[in-house]
Structure 1
């Protein structure tokens, strides 16, 4: 029997407490847990969720496998990566994330590219943006608006 492979790009998050992160993502983003694999000490060596129809993988931090260095956003002083969710009800989804414990980085606002958009940081240091297209904008209008920024 052949193994079916579906090409994909999936974020794989490293966090300090993967079990708590799963609970947060369920509350904040309506995630569905697909599974988790605990190691002998109970730390999760792998877990998978679906968020907004896409798979997100995560695991606990294991500095012992990275030359003694932690690789969580908090340990690194932040993250250069933002995970974006396009949603159909951005007001309620944004509020849900904040109510679950996310920190607002950028409040929801209508943006020049046509989305109502905002950003949050989860309790584990990962950045998320949430956006909902609210109007069509031509490339020319976007270019003109960018000149004003």
Structure 2
């Protein structure tokens, strides 16, 4: 096996219930599981999956390895990070996520920047924005719209 040091940027999600999260991400976003490494007590130390051809890591929360502090959004009272999924059929993809158990944070709307865009929260506390570009918009128009709201 050859060593592969291809540069990457990979989101790494911490959850309570990584095995269930893998199942949810498959149902909601069409995630394809790549790796699953079990850890102590039935938890997952590491897992990897692909969505839209891009890798995402996930693991169970292990406070004992983080100075005794939980890193899961449920323990932190929410998440400051949103994972963004862009592509065709945003209405179908959004509904698929909701049908799989996601909660709507912001419903799908046509936005002034040219995307149909909405946000869901997965059952583990992470936010996912879904979008599809529906019209081309000049950046000056976008700036004018932003300034008109302020």
| Superposition TM-score tier, normalisation by shorter sequence | over 0.9
Structure 2 counterpart of 1:102: 102
Equivalent residue runs for 1:27-38 within 5 Å: 27-38=27-38
- 1:50-129 aligned within 5 A: 50-129=50-129
Tell me how far 1:29 sits from its aligned partner.
Answer: 0.2
Structure 1: gaps (5+ residues): none
Question: Whole-Å Cα distance in 2 between the matches of residues 74 and 148 of structure 1?
Answer: 36
Q: CA 1:9–1:143 in 2, change beyond 3 Å: closer, same or farther?
A: same
Tell me how far 1:3 sits from its aligned partner: 2.0
* Counterparts of 2:104 and 2:124, CA distance in 1: 14
- CA distance, structure 2, for counterparts of residue 40 and residue 62 of structure 1: 10
Q: Deviations over 1:62-92 (max 9, x none)?
A: 0111121111011001111000000111000
Q: Distance in 2 between matches of 1:128 and 1:40?
A: 29
In structure 1, what is the Cα distance between the partners aligned to 2:50 and 2:2?
25
1:2 deviates by 5.7
Gaps of 5+ in 2: none
Q: TM-score, normalised by structure 2?
A: 0.96
Secondary structure, aligned partner of 2:88? coil
Q: Residues of 2 paired with 1:144 and 1:108: CA distance?
A: 22
Q: 1:14: which partner in 2?
A: 14
Moved over 4 A (4+): none
Query: Which residue does 1:143 correspond to in 2?
Result: 143
Equivalent residues, number? 149
CA RMSD in angstroms comes to 1.1
